[in-house]
């Protein structure tokens, strides 16, 4: 029974029974010595001893119960004080020790609740700081193109601007609007992923298909720069994921490599699969990533020495691959150039 797993109940019952028995025995022995054989006096003495023993036992039992109850309420008061500290202070409560019993179970459940509340509070604080940083970064990223747009608009309103100058300003205006549109689209997609509003499919996809979908929009730009795209991998190698999102994320990596590969250079992709993971490597023969930029190259809005754009393409790729149980890492090749590695693990990591 749950009632008997409380040690206070056991201690009270044992002590109360032992005390009552000892008092009754002592009273009975005293009565026998006092009566010295008189039957009627013996019966009166036995009655006196019984009632006296019961009364003394009840008195001692009540005192023992009062002491146990006071001790229990002191523990409850200590628990209430610790909870008050937790609610009004940043320190974690150090709850008193218990071995077993209902009060120990209550303490354990309250401790679990306080830890959960603390973790939720820390998570909310982190999300608040993240949102503040994201808004600051977005405003900073949009400020520069919006300032340029205002300047172009002012120059276009000049009365004596020639036709060639107007066309050049209009081209710059279109380019800036396209950049802002690309940035907002990327930010909206990243916000949807952060909010858990994106449902990624999980179907078997060959690497060759995803690579083709990612590289096709960039082939003309690569041809204009005289760059070669080399593909190496088994036709059967693949991974479980979402084809559209994975192709878009891979396209961002390829675009980054294309922008930092010199004219006449090459970009190579290698893929393979084993029992643990499926791996895709993207390598270029450009200048590589600066050592101070390497730890932060995949962070949102980070732009290093040789990085252009808004700094969201690689961060978006990492978010997409991470959501599909993948890991994206960046490193420099020993022979020069950058290398991006995507691993899709076949189990939860």
As a whole number, mean pLDDT of residues 216-240 equals 91
3 pLDDT band, cuts 50/70/90, is very low
Q: What pLDDT, on a 0 to 100 scale, did the predictor assign at position 114?
A: 77
Q: What's the maximum distance between 2 C-alpha atoms anywhere in the chain?
A: 141
pLDDT tens digits, 117-173: 778 878 888 777 767 766 776 676 677 778 888 888 888 888 888 888 888 888 888
- In whole angstroms, what is the distance from residue 304 CA to residue 293 CA? 6
Segment 197-206 shows an average pLDDT of 89
Higher pLDDT, 45 or 217: 217
pLDDT at residue number 2 = 45
Three-class SS state of 310: coil
**What per-residue confidence (pLDDT) applies to 304?**
66
pLDDT band at 44 (very low <50, low <70, confident <90, very high): low
Q: How far apart are CA 202 and CA 322, in angstroms?
A: 13
Question: Rounded to an integer, what is the distance from CA 180 to the centroid of its chain?
Answer: 31
- Give me the chain's average pLDDT, please: 79
pLDDT tens digits, 324-346: 989 999 999 988 889 999 999 98
Give residue 18's pLDDT. Answer: 74
Give residue-wise pLDDT tens across range 171-196: 888 888 888 887 788 878 888 887 77
Task: Answer yes or no: are the C-beta atoms of 70 and 76 closer than 8 Å.
Answer: no
The per-residue pLDDT for range 48-64, each reduced to its tens digit, is 666 666 666 666 666 77
Q: Which residue has the higher pLDDT, 85 or 180?
A: 180
13-22, 258-267, 285-294: lowest mean pLDDT where? 13-22
pLDDT band at 205 (very low <50, low <70, confident <90, very high): very high
In angstroms, the CA 255 to CA 264 distance is 16
Lowest mean pLDDT, pick from 61-65, 87-91, 226-230, 281-285? 87-91
pLDDT at residue 339, as a whole number: 94
Name, in order, each residue with C-beta under 8 angstroms of 118's C-beta and a sequence gap of 6 or more. Answer: 86, 92
219: alpha, beta or left, given left = phi > 0 and alpha = psi -120 to 50? alpha
Residue 16 or 312, more confident: 312
pLDDT at residue 100, as a whole number: 63
Confidence at residue 343, expressed as pLDDT on a 0 to 100 scale: 94
More confident residue, 70 or 251: 251
Q: Residue 1: its pLDDT value, please? A: 46
Would you say residue 36 has pLDDT above 80?
A: no
The residue ranking higher by pLDDT, 19 or 45, is: 19
- Tell me, what's the pLDDT at 185? 83
The DSSP result for 253-283, as a single string, is: HHHHHHHHSPTT-EEEEEEEE-SSEEEEEEE
């Amino acid at each position: 029974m749950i009632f008997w797993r409380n040690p206070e109940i056991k201690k009270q019952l044992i002590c109360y029974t032992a005390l009552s028995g000892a008092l009754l025995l002592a009273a009975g022995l005293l009565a026998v010595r006092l009566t010295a054989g008189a039957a009627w006096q013996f019966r009166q003495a036995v009655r006196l001893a019984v009632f006296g023993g019961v009364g003394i036992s009840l008195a001692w039992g009540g005192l023992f119960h009062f002491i146990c109850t006071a001790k229990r309420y002191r523990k409850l008061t200590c628990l209430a004080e610790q909870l008050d500290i937790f609610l009004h202070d940043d320190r974690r409560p150090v709850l008193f020790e218990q071995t077993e019993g209902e009060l120990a179970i209550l303490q354990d459940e309250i401790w679990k609740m306080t830890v959960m509340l603390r973790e939720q509070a820390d998570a909310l604080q982190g999300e608040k700081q993240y949102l503040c940083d994201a808004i600051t970064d977005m405003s900073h990223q949009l400020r520069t193109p919006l300032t340029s747009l205002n300047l172009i608009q002012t120059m276009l309103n000049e009365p004596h601007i020639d036709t060639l100058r107007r066309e050049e300003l209009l081209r710059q205006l279109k380019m800036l609007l396209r950049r802002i549109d690309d940035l907002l689209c990327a930010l909206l997609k990243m916000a949807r992923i952060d909010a858990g509003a994106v449902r990624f499919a999980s179907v078997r996809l060959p690497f060759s298909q995803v690579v083709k979908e990612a590289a096709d929009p960039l082939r003309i730009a690569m041809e204009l720069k005289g760059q070669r795209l080399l593909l190496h991998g088994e036709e059967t190698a693949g991974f479980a994921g979402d084809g559209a999102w994975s192709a878009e994320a891979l396209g961002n990596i390829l675009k980054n490599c294309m922008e930092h590969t010199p004219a006449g250079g090459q970009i190579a992709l290698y893929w393979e699969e084993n029992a643990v993971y499926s791996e895709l490597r993207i390598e270029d023969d450009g200048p590589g990533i600066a050592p101070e930029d390497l730890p932060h190259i995949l962070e949102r809005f980070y732009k290093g020495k040789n990085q252009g754009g808004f700094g969201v393409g690689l961060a978006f790729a990492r978010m997409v691959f991470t959501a599909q149980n993948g890991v994206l890492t960046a490193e420099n090749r020993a022979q020069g150039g950058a290398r991006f590695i995507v691993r899709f693990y076949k189990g939860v990591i």
